[in-house]
Amino acid sequence: MPPTRLLAALNIAPMLAMGALALSAPSGAEAGSLPAPVPVAGTDGVQGTSDDDGLPKPGQVTKLNLHDKATLRCDDRDYTLALHGTVEVKAGSPGSEIPPKIPLKVTAAELTGRSDDFGTVKATLDGPQPGSIVSDGKLKPFPATHTLPLSLKITLDKSPCATGSRGYEPLVLTTKNPAQLVGKLTQFPPKGDVYRLQNPVDLVTEDDSTAAVLQDLNVDMDGV
């Protein structure tokens, strides 16, 4: 073959090869496409991502185990009392605040205990109370502050306190204002986190007389 024809053939060969590749390649979305991501069901049953920030979702009900050590003061004397039981909270929808504030309404509480001074003690919720959980930072959900208000009706099998007491007969007291417990959480539900009473709370009789003061309350909280 003459040199000029050989050179022309060599120049045309790459172009023919490229054309053949273009004809054999898939067209449209098939070319270089990746599999579509598969949606993952979130904890609330709604399609979402597999990432969960760990904060309670709207409508989520959580039961918490509670173990506490309370200090009651009456007639200038302090009495200690250990209680244990459960508290139930229900999450609402967060507002527009940044970081978001998630409502956590206290919907139930059942606590029991016993001491030599008070005999058997039972405490139940005296009406729902609006609590909340708020992230301490803007970029991460935890650590977070959980405010847990408890409005309680407390039945004492006996009472050494003079006010409201008729000898050592049973005495029913209520918190004049909700006991505000605050805990710093690294996850939700809490796991062994400590909640502390922010201010002393008067415990009043049916006629609104103060029989004792809830002076101190330290609570260990765990999710059920």
Q: What is the 3-state secondary structure (H, E, C) of the chain?
A: CCHHHHHHHHHHHHHHHHHHHHHHCCCHHHCCCCCCCCCEECCCCCEECCCCCCCCCCCCEEEEEEEEEEEEEECCEEEEEEEEEEEEEEECCCCCCCCCEEEEEEEEEEEEEEECCCEEEEEEECCCEEEEEEECCCCCCCCEEEEEEECEEEEECCCCCCCCCCCCCCEEEEECCCEEEEEEECCCCCEEEEEEECCCEEEECCCCCEEEEEEEEEEEEEEC
136 Rama sector, left if φ>0, alpha if ψ -120 to 50, beta otherwise? alpha
Q: Which residue has the tokens 């790459």?
A: 14
Give the mean pLDDT of the chain: 81
- The number of angstroms, rounded, from the C-alpha of 71 to the middle of its chain's C-alpha atoms is 26
Residue that has been written with the tokens 């609104």 in this structure: 208
pLDDT band of residue 148 (cuts 50, 70, 90) is very high
Between 145 and 137, the higher pLDDT residue: 145
- pLDDT value at residue 165: 62
Half-sphere exposure of 51 (CA within 13 A, CB side): 3
Tens of pLDDT, residues 13-61: 454 444 444 444 444 444 444 444 444 333 333 333 324 678 999 999 9
Q: What is the pLDDT of residue 167?
A: 60
145: β partners? 134, 184
pLDDT tens sequence across 113-138? 999 999 999 999 999 999 999 998 87
What value, to the nearest 5°, has the Cα angle with vertex 222 and ends 147 and 126? 50
pLDDT at 181 over 60: yes
Whose CA is closest to 205, among 169, 172, 157, 156?
Answer: 172
CA distance 98 to 49: 22
